[in-house]
């Protein structure tokens, strides 16, 4: 079956005065119809830029340098603005972090929903309103007829995010990009919103790209996962296998930093150091200054994505490709044995 | 609808501010009598057949020698002052509102496009605005008024005086709007709802007019009151120096102007009454504008 979305070797650059920097570097992934994928990484890893590049809305001075984005069999890169506008918001929609900010404060939500529909086709106002009411009901807003006439400030945070989702659903898109949709909400509402998203995706076979730094959410919601670091995908594969048996040291660090992964009372793990800024990405593997397994080769050669044995995923690390010499691997094996005996990871 | 308005905080704080209520009432009276002049006014100053030159320069009612037909006296041509002032006020208000509407139309459009598009286009439009602002309103008005009078003659000028004054004052002052709107568009367009609107796939004209513009209207509303007052004053000033409304269809300014010639011959009322009406009109608009500005600016609320 053809994938819904197929991203190949996507590179997004930001043109600065002196040089151009790659915020997204040679990223490839694909999404099947109805599949839910998580895009994970620290702040600045390039997750959101990847998301925005899918709908060709990177703000200047960013631009897509190379690669291909095939969506429903069509190449999106280089598509004329007008055609792109009809895909954006129609076939692909996006949900943002802060529902307080994404609704226009001076328009009623009914107006905003009707406007959206009218922008994507010949809708009469009454028909558009009926669609809007229907979608509001789907996201469990009570008495939607009355709610249409209300302004965003009359809703609570969780309701607003549900309205934002309803707006995203208006045109029955094939794919939703959710950029940290629950970060601004409290935990109970988070779960509610995530349940809603899963249900909606399942019922209409909608693809979902969930951009987040919360591995807990990703493991509950998504089927596949891509971990980004400094603009590159360092590991990807089925969510459960990646989270339970991470291959890349960075993913291991992320997994160990989940609060539930450590016995109560012990301090949480932190990956030492900070992500490099785009202006000074280290040579070789960009993670090597923070990696305790790093050997000589890691400072010289950029690791390629390689299939991980005994799991379906890929990871970009010299340990997996076998380029890290055995002598140095010994240290790694030691670490691994210690962790297994202390019950931190499964064998 | 009416009940919702009466319950609103807007109405609540309005009714609690005596200055605002007072100036609103005065303004309402002036507007109603002005626009209702053909009904309200005892005479028709435009109808030359009813004017008798023998009635000229009659004093107001409390001075001996007055005529009971003319409550506030007559001007040098025998026109009833009260009626002429009401008709003149209508002209003044009409020009004020018309000029502001033109300013707003031009200024909002240019400011919105400049602020949203940005880049060289913005720089170009805003430099035009700067150039426009460096000419004073009066200079532009004198230049074009004189040009029009010279080109088409006085007869045609009298017919087209109102639209011409609206155009002149409107063109001279649009940068005020353009700058205000551009400044708030620059602030608004970075907000997430604009990004969300683009993600939804709304075309950029729709984003500009439907999403951003309503969010920038607060400062526009505030400067509009000031601009109406300014436009009325500009018109009065132009009329005073003889480049505004012709004396056959006088505005408040041209009444002050003609009366000025008689002020030393004792007929002070021809200048004084229109002057007082002009001051009251401008003052009440400005006071109402001040209240509106304070109401719309939450930073000024007393804690």
User: Any CB–CB contact under 8 A between A79 and chain B?
Assistant: no
pLDDT band at B303 (very low <50, low <70, confident <90, very high): very low
B83 has a pLDDT exceeding 90: no
| B8 in contact with A, Cβ within 8 Å | no
Residue B13 lies in a domain: no
* Cβ(A5)–Cβ(A30) below 8 Å: yes
Q: Which residue of B has its CA nearest to A59?
A: B195
Q: What integer pLDDT is reported at residue A310 of this predicted model?
A: 64
Question: Using the beta-carbon criterion (under 8 Å), do B206 and A119 form an inter-chain contact?
Answer: yes
Domain of B141, CATH number, reads 1.10.3720.10
SS3 content of chain B, % helix, strand, coil (to 5): 80, 0, 20
**For chain B, what is the mean pLDDT?**
85
Question: Order of strands, edge to edge, in the sheet holding A232-238?
Answer: A92-95, A175-179, A207-212, A36-40, A224-229, A232-238, A314-316, A305-307
Kindly state whether residue B15 falls inside one of the protein's structural domains. no
Return the pLDDT at B38.
85
* A208 beta partners: A36, A176
Tokens of B90: 């209508």
Contact yes or no for A102 and B211 at CB 8 A: no
Bond before A91 cis per omega within 30 degrees: no
> For the domain with range A5-226, which CATH number is right: 3.40.190.10, 1.10.10.10, 3.90.1300.10, 3.40.50.300?
3.40.50.300
User: Is residue A162 predicted with pLDDT exceeding 50?
Assistant: yes
The band of B5, judged by pLDDT with boundaries at 50, 70 and 90, is confident
Spell out the residues 6+ positions from residue B124 whose beta carbon is closer than 8 angstroms to its own: none
**Domain for residue B253, yes or no?**
yes
Percent of chain B residues past pLDDT 90, beyond the cut: 27
Asked if residue B23 is part of any domain, the answer here is no
Name every residue whose Cβ is closer than 8 Å to that of residue B208 and which is 6 or more positions away in sequence.
Answer: B112, B113, B116
Kindly list the residues from chain A whose CB atom is less than 8 angstroms away from the CB atom of residue B221. none
Residue B87 lies in a domain: yes
Q: Which secondary structure element, helix H or strand E, spans residue B17, and what is its range?
A: none
Prediction ipTM score: 0.74
Q: Among B196, B203, B206, whose Cβ lies nearest the Cβ of A96?
A: B196
Q: What is the DSSP letter of A276?
A: P
Q: Which pLDDT does position A329 carry in this prediction?
A: 55
Q: For residue B271, which of B115, B96, B76 has the smallest C-alpha distance? A: B76
Residue B7: count other Cβ atoms within 10 Å of its Cβ: 10
Sign of the alpha-carbon dihedral angle for A283, A285, A290, A295: negative
Query: Would an 8 Å CB–CB cutoff place B193 in contact with chain A?
Result: yes
Query: How do residues A271-310 score in pLDDT, each as one tens digit?
Result: 888 888 888 888 888 888 888 888 888 888 888 888 886 6
Query: Between these two residues, B76 and A128, which has the higher pLDDT value?
Result: A128
- Smallest CA–CA distance, residue B294 to chain A, in Å, is 20
Q: Report pLDDT for B280.
A: 93
Residue B286: exposure state from Cβ atoms within 10 A (0-12, 13-18, ≥19): middle
Domain span at B164: 72-300
Taking the CA of residue A237 and the nearest CA in chain B, the distance in Å comes to 28
State the total domains in chain B.
1
Question: Maximum distance among all alpha carbons in chain B?
Answer: 77
Whether B37 is covered by a domain: the verdict is no
pLDDT at B97 over 90: yes
Q: Is B200 on the interface with A (CB under 8 A)?
A: yes
Instruction: Render pLDDT for B193-251 as a digit per residue (tens, 0 to 9).
Output: 898 888 888 888 889 998 899 888 888 988 898 899 999 998 888 888 878 888 778 88
Question: What does the pLDDT look like over A36-83, one tens digit per residue?
Answer: 999 998 888 888 899 989 988 888 788 898 899 999 888 988 888 888
CB proximity B187 to A under 8 Å: no
B39 domain residue, yes or no: no
Sequence spans of domains, chain A:
5-226, 241-341
Please give the helix or strand (H or E) that residue A120 lies within, else none. none
Of A53, A54, A57, A56, the residue nearest A23 (C-alpha): A53
Per the CB < 8 A criterion, the answer to whether B88 and B254 are in contact is yes
Q: Cβ of B120 under 8 Å from any chain A Cβ?
A: no
């Amino acid at each position: 079956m053809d994938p819904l979305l197929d991203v190949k070797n996507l590179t997004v650059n930001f043109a600065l005065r002196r040089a151009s920097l790659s915020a997204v570097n040679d990223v490839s992934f694909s999404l099947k119809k109805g599949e839910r994928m998580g895009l994970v990484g620290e702040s600045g890893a390039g997750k959101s830029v990847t998301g925005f590049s899918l709908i060709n809305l990177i703000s200047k001075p960013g631009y897509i340098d190379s690669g291909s984005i095939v969506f429903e069999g069509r190449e999106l890169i280089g598509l004329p603005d007008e055609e792109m506008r009809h895909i954006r918001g129609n076939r692909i929609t996006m949900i943002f972090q802060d529902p307080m900010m994404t609704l226009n404060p001076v328009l009623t939500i009914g107006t905003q929903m009707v406007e959206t529909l009218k922008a994507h086709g010949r809708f009469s106002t009454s028909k558009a309103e009926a669609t809007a009411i229907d979608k509001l009901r789907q996201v469990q807003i009570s008495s939607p007829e009355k709610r249409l006439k209300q302004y965003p400030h009359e809703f609570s945070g969780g309701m607003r995010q549900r309205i934002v989702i309803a707006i995203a659903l208006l045109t029955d898109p094939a794919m939703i990009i959710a950029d940290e949709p629950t970060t601004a909400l409290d935990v109970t509402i988070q779960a509610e919103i995530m349940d809603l998203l899963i249900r909606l995706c399942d019922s209409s076979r909608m693809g979902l790209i969930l951009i987040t730094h919360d591995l807990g959410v990703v493991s509950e919601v998504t089927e596949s996962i891509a971990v980004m670091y400094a603009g590159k995908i360092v590991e990807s594969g089925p969510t459960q296998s990646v989270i339970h048996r991470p291959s890349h040291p960075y993913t291991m660090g992320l997994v160990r930093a989940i609060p539930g992964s450590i016995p109560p009372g012990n301090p949480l793990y932190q990956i030492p150091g900070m992500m490099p800024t785009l202006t000074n990405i280290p040579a070789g593997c960009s993670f090597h200054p923070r990696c305790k397994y790093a050997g000589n080769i890691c400072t010289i050669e950029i690791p390629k994505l390689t299939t991980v044995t005994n799991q379906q995923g890929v990871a970009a690390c010299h340990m997996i490709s076998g380029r890290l010499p055995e002598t140095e691997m010994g240290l790694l094996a030691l670490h691994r044995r210690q962790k297994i005996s202390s019950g931190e990871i499964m064998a | 609808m009416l009940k919702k308005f009466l319950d609103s905080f807007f109405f609540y704080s309005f009714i609690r501010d005596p200055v605002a209520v007072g100036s609103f009432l005065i303004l309402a009276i002036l507007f109603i009598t002005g626009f209702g002049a053909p009904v309200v006014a005892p005479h028709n100053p435009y109808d030359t057949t009813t004017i008798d030159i023998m009635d000229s320069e009659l004093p107001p009612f409390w001075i001996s020698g007055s005529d009971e037909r003319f409550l506030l006296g007559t001007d040098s041509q025998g026109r009833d002052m009260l009626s002429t002032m009401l008709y003149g006020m209508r002209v003044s208000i009409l020009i004020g509102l018309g000029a502001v509407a033109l300013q707003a139309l031009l200024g909002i459009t240019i400011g919105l496009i400049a602020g949203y598009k940005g880049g060289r286009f913005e720089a170009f439009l805003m430099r035009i605005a700067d150039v426009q602002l460096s000419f004073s309103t009066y200079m532009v008005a004198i230049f074009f008024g004189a040009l029009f009078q010279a080109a088409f003659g006085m007869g045609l000028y009298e017919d087209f005086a109102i639209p011409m004054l609206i155009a002149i004052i409107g063109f001279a002052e649009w940068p005020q709007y353009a700058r205000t709107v551009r400044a708030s568009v620059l602030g608004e367009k970075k907000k997430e709802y604009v990004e969300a609107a683009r993600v939804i796939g709304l075309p950029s004209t729709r984003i500009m007019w439907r999403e951003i513009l309503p969010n920038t209207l607060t400062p526009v509303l505030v400067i509009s009151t000031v601009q109406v007052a300014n436009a009325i004053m500009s018109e009065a000033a132009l009329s005073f120096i003889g480049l505004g409304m012709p004396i056959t269809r006088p505005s408040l300014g041209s009444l002050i102007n003609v009366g000025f010639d008689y002020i030393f011959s004792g007929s002070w009322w021809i200048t004084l009454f229109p002057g007082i009406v002009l001051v009251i009109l401008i003052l009440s608009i400005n006071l109402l504008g001040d209240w509106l500005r304070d109401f719309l600016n939450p930073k000024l609320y007393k804690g």
